[in-house]
Amino acid sequence: MQLSAHMSVTIKTPQEIEKMRIAGRLTSEVLDYIDPFVIAGVSTNELDRLCHDLIVNVQKGIPAPLNYAPQGHTPYPKSICTSINHQVCHGVPSEKLLKNGDIVNLDITVIMDGYHGDSSRMFYVGEPSIQARRLCEITWQSLWRGIRVVKPGAYLGDIGHAIQSFVEPLGYSVVREFCGHGIGTKFHEAPQVLHYGRPKTGLRLEAGMTFTIEPMINAGKAAIKNLGDGWTVVTKDHSLSAQYEHTLLVTQTGFEVLTVSEGCPPPPKP
């Protein structure tokens, strides 16, 4: 690992990239595994337990969220994040049961051999409303609009612009307070990857950088608030929120998605 010309952004070596691929695949496989369990009547605690057991006992990895305690936060008490309906991110698993029509984001981060993979997907519980389904589909497309501009010489602002300029004309809003992030031996490292912005601004991308893109898109206004548990973030206007996340590598010619597996949803048509 070396620092790029932009201080504090790490450029991964080929050996490190291989470890990132493995961590990324394992992360995506947890999302594949949990899919059939996301049904009406299951608690988010049960989903957490199933994912935890797979990561620890089968994959022999470490669930990065468990006891994760960034500055000013109490340690996160669970192994995955489960954000339901108007919860934007960092929803804490509980005894609350999922019900028909819910949409839920499951955010998984696996540490393997010291390296992190980070990915999240939306899941439908039974039959969601047309509005909920559309929000999820637009959010998935927005993630890929961001991914597809990634290449050496592009700018972080290009990613944010690709997402923002797609969702806002459709009446959706981009959450400003949370962003994608560099990732490697640390869960969160430089740079910050905003999901809004102006083209040709911000950090210039170079081959060997690894970071997440993870847009949080609200059906209503962008404003959010924190709940009393110190973690769960919700939309202020109680509108639905959706998020998808992949971990990316900047290659010599473009990008490689590191969080892929057999059951990973295919990219949308450009």
Q: Using an 8 Å Cβ cutoff, are 245 and 143 in contact?
A: yes
DSSP track, 214-259: --EEESS-S-EEE-TTSS-EEETT---EEE-BEEEEE-SSSEEESS
Q: What is the mean pLDDT of residues 199-208?
A: 97
Of the candidates 191, 135, 199, the one whose C-alpha atom is nearest the C-alpha of residue 162 is: 199
Amino acid of residue 56: V
pLDDT category at 72 given cuts 50, 70, 90 is: confident
pLDDT in tens, 153-189: 999 999 999 999 999 999 999 999 999 999 999 999 9
The total of other beta-carbon atoms located within 10 Å of residue 147's CB is: 18
Amino acid 73: pLDDT? 85
Q: Are strands 189-193 and 180-182 parallel, antiparallel or unpaired?
A: antiparallel
Q: Using an 8 Å Cβ cutoff, are 79 and 48 in contact?
A: yes
DSSP track, 191-214: EEE-SS--TT-SPBP-TT-EEEE-
Q: Under DSSP, is residue 172 helix (H, G, I), strand (E, B) or coil?
A: coil
Amino acid 10: pLDDT? 94
Domains defined for the chain, CATH in brackets? 12-257 (3.90.230.10)
Q: Using an 8 Å Cβ cutoff, are 204 and 150 in contact?
A: no
E strands, the chain, are 2-3, 10-11, 62-63, 81-84, 87-89, 103-112, 115-124, 173-174, 180-182, 189-193, 210-213, 216-218, 224-226, 233-235, 241-243, 246-250, 255-257
- What pTM did the predictor assign? 0.96
Unique residue bearing structure tokens 């709940």? 227
pLDDT category at 8 given cuts 50, 70, 90 is: confident
- Please report the sign of the dihedral spanned by the C-alpha atoms of residue 249, residue 250, residue 256, residue 257: positive
